[in-house]
Structure 1
Amino acid sequence: MEECCRDGSLKLKQLKEFSEYLKIISDVNRLQILCLLKKGERCVCNIHEPLDLPQNLVSHHLKALRGAGLVTTRREGKWIHYQINTEKIAYFTNLYNQIILGGECDADQNTRAGLRQLQEAGGKCI
């Protein structure tokens, strides 16, 4: 049996972790939120309006994204600002590469560079 399929193996643990990540990002609203956040930090009011979603729904999705470590927060008075956690995205990018493609890459550096380019170009959401 392959190492990635054995109970207790590091690979199986990573497979389970990656599966949870895929569940979190499988929601179109969460992907739209991440798309907006790639342009930079935003508060809930600057997320729900362009997506035409209720603020409480956006807050719910942000809580899930935050719980998965995909976004981080910064408090400024009563406002909470959200931003993409590039380290966690890079981790899952590298994990994807290892699990699906069977190789390794410098995902952390590549992801940061890609996000920086998108932010500089004002990356357009689909």
Structure 2
Amino acid sequence: MKEQIEIFKALSDENRIKILKMLSCRELCACDIQQNLDLTQPTISHHMKVLQQTGLIQWEKRGKWIFYRINQKKVEGLYGFIKEITNPSEDCPCPISSCDCDGFRR
């Protein structure tokens, strides 16, 4: 679960969400991302490093350029994790309540 927590932390930044949205269209180099966001090159590099560390994006160096793309396997794994924690299951960690409340707050 620690891995997923780190992913959610990375996704808590608006610029990283914007970067992922841009990468959903196609792979991009850092200069394309910088051009579409009003951020400096070091700031873009920081965001890309955070996204790489979570595994949400992959990169490939071509000549002097680095191209980024979404790691679909990691995203699919995150979908599965969200589904797992939000769907009821037989091994629910919550104890059965011995409360006799009727669901209304008094």
Alignment TM-score > 0.5, same fold: yes
* Identity %, equivalent residues: 39
CA RMSD of aligned residues (A): 1.2
Partner of 2:42: 56
Aligned residues: 89
Partner of 2:93: none
Give the residue type in structure 2 aligned to 1:48. Q
Partner of 1:36: 22
Task: Describe the SS at the equivalent of 1:39.
Answer: coil
| Structure-2 change in CA distance of 1:85 and 1:102 (3 Å) | farther
Structure 1 residue ranges without an equivalent (≥5): 1-13, 104-126
Larger Rg: 2
Deviating runs (4+, > 6 A) in structure 1? Answer: none
Q: Note the C-alpha offset of 1:102.
A: 3.8
Q: Note the C-alpha offset of 1:21.
A: 1.3
Structure 2 residue ranges without an equivalent (≥5): 90-106
Task: Describe the SS at the equivalent of 1:53.
Answer: coil
Structure number with the higher helix fraction is 1
In structure 1, C-alpha distance between the alignment counterparts of 2:83 and 2:5, rounded to whole Å: 14
Q: Note the C-alpha offset of 1:52.
A: 1.3
| Structure-2 change in CA distance of 1:62 and 1:102 (3 Å) | farther
In structure 2, C-alpha distance between the alignment counterparts of 1:26 and 1:55, rounded to whole Å: 20
In structure 1, C-alpha distance between the alignment counterparts of 2:51 and 2:72, rounded to whole Å: 13
TM-score, normalising length: structure 1? 0.67
Task: Describe the SS at the equivalent of 1:26.
Answer: coil
Q: Note the C-alpha offset of 1:17.
A: 2.5
TM-score, normalising length: structure 2? 0.79
